[in-house]
Amino acid sequence: MHYRLISLFAVVTIAAIVVPVAAARSLAPRSEVLTLAYEGPLTGGQAANGQDMLRGTKLAIAEINKAGGVLGLQIKLITGNDKATPSIGVTVAENLVKQQPFALIGPYNSSVGIANLPIFIAAGVFPVQLTSTDDTKNMGITVQPKNSQISPVEVQWMTAEKAGKVSILYDPDAYTKGMADRMFEALNKQGVLVTKIPIDAKSKDFTAQVAQAVTNNPDVVYVSTYYPQGAIIAKNLFAAQADHPTKCFMGLANQDAAFVKQAGIPAASACTFSGVPTPGQFGNAKSTAYVKNYAKKLSANPGPWGIFTYDSVYTLVNAIRRAGRLSVSAVSKKAFHTTNLSGATGSITIDPETGYRSNVPVAILNVDSTSGTFVLSKLYTQ
């Protein structure tokens, strides 16, 4: 599309770091605030995660402002609601860049990021992005896992199950389809009989697709969708257990605070999930403080992804402080060379070749059959 073409000549690579041509833009010395933008799905089917990420962003900014800000400036937050829709994400990006934010926290959805991250970059806005697709490699940095880091963990779980037949239900979105393709290729190499079945992400009825998936009694049904669809599929699979007993594996995009509520505890607890540790499972002083302060100051329980936007803000601010000035090119270089930064999600090191977190936490999770909470089965640090 139009904006992807712009991005090809709107960025230059210096020492393997993608820096916008517009990155020479610096805030004027007399600026009284540092403007940051947050973008995510604040309404719609993925609003629970979007709101959680906004709260994590706000919590970090409030703490930083209370401690004196960054380079003597208070942080001002502006927000955009992309509703997990690429076309809306493009409009949101166009509107946000008019307000000249220095940096962006977001977006969350991979298809949105593919469409609109080049707009931010061309405008000289530095992204600390939240997408998981490798198609957004080098479009800023990220502290969340990418599909090339998540897929090996999912394949390892599947291999341990010794599944001979697997059905894959997938949403054709960039991230979820990419994960389904990776699983299909890995299992094919192992000689596993694999069937791929696409779903219509706009539908709320997946009865026919689930029936097709369980027809041959697979050992595992792998579901690569976002939560709203995944929760419905989990209910369908649970209902089919009497005639077609099979294991259910939910891909990472289903780790949503609202999944268990919509699917119901029995159906949710019948599935295994790939994902990230929930905030209380990181086991360090900063994550403990995050959980406590989130509940106290925001009057809500933390979801799985807000802790990553919290760390995204602190990673950005750390890079700004090390750069010593509000130059996007200088901050970008420092951000891409973040090493052993202590975060609520653990130590953060960014690979300067990709912008990816090199020690990213990826987990295998289950849902407790009594409390309905996500519990950690196994943690991997890539």
Distance spanning both ends of the chain, measured CA to CA:
34
- Which pLDDT score, from 0 to 100, does residue 22 have? 42
Give the integer Cα–Cα distance in Å for 183 and 166: 10
- pLDDT tens for 222-254 read 999 999 999 999 999 999 998 999 999 999 999
CATH assignment of 2-145+282-350, among 3.40.50.2300, 1.10.10.10, 2.30.40.10, 3.90.1300.10: 3.40.50.2300
- pLDDT tens for 306-320 read 999 999 999 999 999
Going by pLDDT thresholds of 50, 70 and 90, the confidence category of residue 257 is confident
Tokens representing residue 113 in the block: 């990021």
pLDDT at residue 273 greater than cutoff 70: yes
pLDDT at residue 68 greater than cutoff 70: yes
pLDDT at residue 31 greater than cutoff 70: no
Number of neighbours of residue 264 by Cβ within 10 angstroms: 15
- Which pLDDT score, from 0 to 100, does residue 258 have? 87
Residue 89 or 242, more confident: 89
Listing DSSP states for 37-62 in one string gives: EEEE--SSTTHHHHHHHHHHHHHHHH
Mean pLDDT score across all residues of the chain: 91
Going by pLDDT thresholds of 50, 70 and 90, the confidence category of residue 49 is very high
Going by pLDDT thresholds of 50, 70 and 90, the confidence category of residue 141 is very high
Residue 13 or 142, more confident: 142
- Which pLDDT score, from 0 to 100, does residue 292 have? 96
Which helix (H) or strand (E) segment holds residue 110: the answer is: helix 110-122
Asked whether this chain's domains 2-145+282-350 and 147-275+363-381 adopt the same fold, the reply is yes
- The pTM score is 0.88
Give the integer Cα–Cα distance in Å for 84 and 50: 9
Number of neighbours of residue 121 by Cβ within 10 angstroms: 29
- Residues 6+ positions from 223 with CB-CB distance below 8 Å: 168, 169, 170, 230, 233, 234, 248, 249, 250, 251, 254, 271
Domain ranges in the chain are 2-145+282-350, 147-275+363-381
pLDDT at residue 12 greater than cutoff 70: no
Going by pLDDT thresholds of 50, 70 and 90, the confidence category of residue 16 is very low
- pLDDT tens for 97-127 read 999 999 999 999 999 999 999 999 999 999 9
- Which pLDDT score, from 0 to 100, does residue 32 have? 85
pLDDT at residue 30 greater than cutoff 60: no
185-190-196 Cα angle (round to 5): 40
- Which pLDDT score, from 0 to 100, does residue 382 have? 60
Region 360-373: mean pLDDT is 95
Going by pLDDT thresholds of 50, 70 and 90, the confidence category of residue 28 is very low
Region 137-153: mean pLDDT is 96
Region 144-169: mean pLDDT is 96
In 3D, which of 74, 76, 73, 122 has the Cα closest to residue 99?
A: 76
Give the integer Cα–Cα distance in Å for 338 and 141: 10
- Which pLDDT score, from 0 to 100, does residue 256 have? 85
Region of 68 on the Ramachandran plot (φ > 0 left; ψ -120 to 50 alpha; else beta): left
Percentage of the chain modeled with pLDDT above 70? 92
Domain 147-275+363-381, architecture per CATH: 3-Layer(aba) Sandwich (3.40)
